[in-house]
Amino acid sequence: MMKDRQNIVIIISDQQRWDSLGCNGNDFVKTPYLDEFSKEALNFKNSFTPFPVCTPARATMWTGVYPHAHGLIHNRYGIDDVINYESKIPTTVFEMLQNAGYTTAYFGKWHLGEKNSGRFDIWEGFNSHGGHWIDGKQSFQGGKYKSYEYNDLFIKFIKSPQSKKKPFVGVISYYPPHNPFTAPIEFYKPYRGKGIPFAGYYAAVSAIDYYAGNIIKAIKNERLFDDTIIFYISDHGETFNYRDSNLLNKGSIDVSLHKWLCYEESIRIPTILYVPGQTGKKILKPIGLQDLSPTILDIAGIKIPDYMHGKSLLRFLSNQTFKWRDDYYIESERRKTRTFQRAIWTNKWKLILGWDENHYLFNLNTDPEEELNIFNTPRKDKHNQFSHFQDYSNIIINLTKRMKKNAVEINDIIGLELFDKIIRQKNYFNNK
């Protein structure tokens, strides 16, 4: 058993909505293992991705900075090491952990390069693409599910002598429930014939729940549970192409729109954190993927670099007077139109500003589904539909100022330019 420093296990799903877990209020999904795990752990109700796309989000996970700062704002393929080749921040948390004496092990989807490039002592990873099945054969064809295979490799590592010699950080990164939405046939049963759309997506969620449960069981069986901090996270969510249908290609679906947007189902992600001694709590303060690296470094007793934008969750959890954020800042770029977006989230409001001058304001208390954009009210329109709405210009101005404050703190030039642009558009505030 580890005495001096704790092990770190990070379980990552891909493209998983926050509301796809039973412990987060979903009534039809079957996720018994993570639901039970959340009772032993901390469940973050308001957890977000800083950029709802794989490579940008994952680079933020491991560098601790927003995507505009590391510079990776598109998915990358065919490059051996994206961090070394393209990132403005060339160092990840894994090199720091290696230098501090940790064994670093990675299994599954990486999406930051095709090869290891030395930052992992144990590497069983792949970049992306290629589907969820080895050799393209599904379970009814006798095929093997990639996530099962990588999960098995990870459990073998947990059981190996190598995991006992010195503290380790181990990552298991599943490709599902990322499209195409498929899973082994046995996980479809709860969703077939019940009017549940995207059965394959939720079947994949149930599969991941089962695999994650096996990992947690292995950690307990190896008597490592009391010496291991465990994260369950995702990189971003999924809209099922519900949003912005006016941007779909004529006659075909533009599948890029299932993310790349600042709506809740795209940016809000599950985060469950097991810290020995802290159980069964729901945390309401907003957190994000930029907090992962500072937290990992804090666990390992490594100084957190000043350039990191995130904060250590351990410091927040152990000290309630520790200054924490009350809002969350999101970056994105709408696909096809290549339009930059910035958003600010609070526990009541969401403001999204677009470089194309398509702006959105949602009241998350009365309209959590974000169905009614109230940015342009009150306005005179043909049918006088919005005359009964209040004047939201004060709220827009206050949220824009909060957005600017965040942009200044992380030196996001695009966010600052959007702030200046919206303030100059006085027609939006003609009631001031």
**Predicted local distance difference test score (pLDDT) of residue 22:** 98
Q: From first to last of the 432 residues of the chain, give the pLDDT tens digit.
A: 344 789 999 999 999 999 999 999 999 999 999 999 999 999 999 999 999 999 999 999 999 999 999 999 999 999 999 999 999 999 999 999 999 999 999 999 999 999 998 999 999 999 988 889 998 888 778 889 999 999 999 999 999 999 999 999 999 999 999 999 999 999 999 999 999 999 999 999 999 999 999 999 999 999 999 999 999 999 999 999 887 554 444 444 444 567 888 999 999 999 999 999 888 889 999 999 999 999 999 999 999 999 999 999 998 888 767 789 999 999 998 766 668 999 999 999 999 999 887 899 999 999 999 998 998 775 566 677 767 778 888 899 899 999 999 999 999 999 998 888 777 765 555 544
**Predicted local distance difference test score (pLDDT) of residue 257:** 64
C-beta separation of 275 from 317 below 8 A: yes
C-beta separation of 180 from 200 below 8 A: yes
Q: State whether 20 and 107 are in the same domain.
A: yes
Does a structural domain hold residue 1?
A: no
- How many other C-beta atoms can be found within 10 angstroms of the C-beta atom of residue 28? 11
**Predicted local distance difference test score (pLDDT) of residue 242:** 80
Q: State whether 162 and 263 are in the same domain.
A: yes
Q: State whether 282 and 219 are in the same domain.
A: yes
Q: State whether 207 and 84 are in the same domain.
A: yes
Does a structural domain hold residue 326?
A: no
Q: Is the bond preceding residue 177 a cis peptide, omega within 30 degrees?
A: yes
Q: State whether 203 and 347 are in the same domain.
A: no
Last residue of a domain, one of 290, 318, 346: 318
Does a structural domain hold residue 354?
A: yes
Which residue, 352, 420, 268, 369, is CA-closest to 361?
A: 352
CATH classification of the domain holding 187: 3.40.720.10
Give me the domain span that covers residue 67.
Answer: 7-318
Does a structural domain hold residue 217?
A: yes
Does a structural domain hold residue 19?
A: yes
Q: State whether 214 and 355 are in the same domain.
A: no
Q: Hey, what are 98's tokens?
A: 């290696």
Number of domains in the chain: 2
Q: State whether 377 and 310 are in the same domain.
A: no
C-beta separation of 50 from 329 below 8 A: yes
Q: How far is residue 373 from each of residues 51, 151, 339, measured CA to CA in Å?
A: 21, 42, 19
Q: State whether 380 and 278 are in the same domain.
A: no
CATH classification of the domain holding 376: 3.30.1120.10
Residues 6+ apart with CB under 8 A from 193: none
What single-letter DSSP state applies at residue 268? B
Does a structural domain hold residue 331?
A: no
What predicted TM-score, i.e. pTM, was given to this entire model?
Answer: 0.93
Last residue of a domain, one of 318, 346, 366: 318
The dihedrals phi and psi of 278, each to the nearest 5 degrees, come to -120, 115
**Predicted local distance difference test score (pLDDT) of residue 3:** 47
Q: How far is CA 312 from the centre of its chain?
A: 17
Last residue of a domain, one of 318, 350, 369: 318
Does a structural domain hold residue 333?
A: no
Q: State whether 310 and 360 are in the same domain.
A: no
**Predicted local distance difference test score (pLDDT) of residue 252:** 42
Strand partners, 341: 332, 354
Strand partners, 428: none
Q: State whether 307 and 350 are in the same domain.
A: no
Q: State whether 229 and 103 are in the same domain.
A: yes
Q: State whether 148 and 241 are in the same domain.
A: yes
Which residue, 369, 389, 372, is CA-closest to 380?
A: 389
Does a structural domain hold residue 325?
A: no
